[in-house]
Amino acid sequence: MNSESAVHGDIHEKAGEAGEKVRNVAGKVKETAQDTMTQIKESSAHAFEEGKKRAATLERTLEGMIKENPIKAVLIAAGAGLLVGVVWKLSS
């Protein structure tokens, strides 16, 4: 019986150690996942802000070009509209 009790104690101890290792790994995985999500959020926010800046710059550039060449801008818009109309009519 003494030998059985020792084996039982060893098994219980090893199970406790294994459980602790699993909890440690799970904690590290959780921490890594949280860090990764934080990095993704920060990167996404930066990309969004950069996109907004580029869109505003493009808007100002186009606005300036239209003000400098209003007739050319109207002719380009009319040509684009005509092209879209022809493609639409052909696809119908």
What is the chain's pLDDT, residue by residue, as a tens digit (92 residues)? 567 777 777 888 888 898 899 999 999 999 999 999 999 999 999 999 999 999 999 999 999 999 999 999 999 999 999 999 999 999 87
pTM: 0.51
Residue with tokens 């930066």: 46
Q: For 39, how many CA atoms within 13 A lie in the half-sphere containing its CB? A: 6
How many domains does the chain contain in total?
A: 1
CA angle 9, 13, 18 (to 5 degrees): 150
**Unique residue bearing structure tokens 């990309």:** 47
Measuring CA to CA, which residue among 64, 82, 84, 60 is closest to residue 73?
64
- Domain with 66, as residue range(s), is 2-91
65: how many CB neighbours lie within 10 A of its CB? 13
Crossing angle of helices 70-91 and 2-68, in 10° steps, is 120
